Amino acid sequence: MDHDVNHDDDYTVITNLALTFGYPTSFGTISREKWRRIPKDLCLHTSEEAAWLHVEQSNEKNITARDLVVTDIKVAEQNPGTDTDDLWESRSAGIWVRRSKYTGDNARTVTDIDVLFGVDAVIPRPQWSLVRPPLQLNARPDVPAAQISMRRGTAKSNPENPLPKLRVKKDGKFKVLQVSDTHMVTGVGVCDDAMDADGQPLPQSEADPLTVNFLGGVLDVEKPDLVVLTGDQLHHDILDTQSALFKVVAPLIERSIPYAAVFGNHDDEGRYALSREAQMSLLQNLPFNLSQPGPEEADGVGNYYLQVFAQAPSRVPLLTLFFLDSHGQIPSEVKDPDYDCIAQNQIDWFTSTSQELRKAREKNGDGEHNPLHLSLAFMHISLCEYADSDLILKGGHRGEPTEGPSFNSHFYDALAREGIAAVGCGHDHVNDFCAIRPQNDGSDMPEPGPWLCHGGGSGFGGYGSYDGKRYYRRMRVWEFNTTSGGLKTWKRVEYARERIDELVLMEGGNVSAVVASFNGVQD
């Protein structure tokens, strides 16, 4: 009897692998009914003749013990097996496929195949591995090389272990690392404006490895409870979104650090870039991700919130973090570049959600309520108020003019009314200040607040200079003290061993008294 393999789960196995050349619609001699084309040109659209990887797959329940399935893939100039090993089959581009009769052991069976690009490609997906070296294609030397990635075993619905609720530490503190504008690309990329420890210009170098090293170093020093990616994770016009996005999150996943992301104006720019929806889907299938697409009634992708709770088993939320899609560049006769603003339906979603959460806290089933609860908001493009000439600047500098929307949808007013403590933005790479608007006694806004803070650019693939002056890459740290209603922030900067521009933003759940009493402009 053929069906003598135990079928515990319903999943797909790979039974064969092939490579074809030609147009995207070309399957060569391969049957469309049995084969699936991986939708990535292996030459990254740089050659007159594209190359495509195809996989033949079958439902595991239809596989018999006599059927051959793929158990391994290698890339080599010669047969990677022994002289007597006839299980390795040669394919184009140096691919060798090992096929064996199916035993029902899905841990040994290849169940999915994908393609990544670049010598610095990483694979942060559980059960997946990279096949090195890259494929042997006649591509230009400056084109990031294609590498097969493969998964063994049955895909898990929840990567690794389901994340528990975000909770403060025993001392009541919770630390967030804001990482903005990493500007990863397909391949290593180029950096033209880095500096050495003495502030002297460095020659052109590979960008993304520098960014990965900088990020890893800050993670190891700060050991944050959460990382917030505030947009432009990717550079514009890159050729493979997945390869670049994986490089951003891999250092977080390796260290088991939860992370949440919003999108920037460049993340989905370009002919071959994945949409925001597709990128969110990728993130949601990775370990430690907390990013969410958000409600359909709010414009954009990535309007959501996270709550940070007291120590287990308490159900009391002590912090609320809001995330919003600040959209991208738009055609405009007012200024160039110009950007879309936070939409009214996003403002409505934020306001109603904030009020519902406040009511829920006040009616907590445990009878507990934390009067020192703090809320923050994160987005990529700064609000119009960041450009105000009378801002009180603290703990940083304005290295370039604020670049934001020309139309003010007054989201700041909604944030102020809802008592948001601070806003963390990216976008302007060499702006790294925190600022607050001066008290206006004639306004109905409960000012001072919220704080308006820039994270500063962290990626070496994005610009790090303005008007001829170079700046070090940097990241912003936010530390909450939920027992005292306190909020501090500082920056981690290249080469600096100590915290930079440490600033107390909130005390006792209110804006720092020193700042609240100051009504001038500080450079």
pLDDT-derived band at 446 (thresholds 50, 70, 90) equals very low
Cα–Cα distances in angstroms (integers) from residue 481 to residues 140, 376, 450, in the given order: 54, 14, 17
Token pair of 63, please? 């596989």
Instruction: Please give the DSSP secondary-structure letter assigned to residue 191.
Output: B
CA distance 395 to 494: 17
In this prediction, residues 501-509 reach a mean pLDDT of: 94
- pLDDT recorded at residue 440: 66
Distance (Å, rounded) from C-alpha 500 to C-alpha 477?
10
On the question of pLDDT at 365 being above 60, the answer is: no
C-alpha pair distances (Å), 122 with each of 149, 169, 248, 249: 10, 31, 10, 10
pLDDT digits (tens, 9 = 90+) for 115-171: 999 999 999 999 999 999 999 998 888 999 999 999 998 877 554 556 668 999 999
pTM across the whole model: 0.93
In the predicted structure, residue 390 carries a pLDDT above the cut 70: yes
Tokens read off for 275: 């949409």
- In terms of C-beta distances under 8 Å and separation of at least 24 residues, what long-range contacts does 509-516 make, across chains too? 509/371, 509/372, 509/373, 509/374, 509/485, 510/485, 511/436, 511/448, 511/449, 511/451, 515/392, 515/394, 515/436, 515/448, 516/439, 516/448
Residue range 175-227, pLDDT digits in tens: 999 999 999 999 999 999 999 999 999 999 999 999 999 999 999 999 999 99
- How far is CA 6 from each of CA 13, 58, 110, 246, rounded to the nearest angstrom? 14, 16, 17, 35
Render 344-364 in DSSP notation, one character per residue. HHHHHHHHHHHHHHHHHHHT-
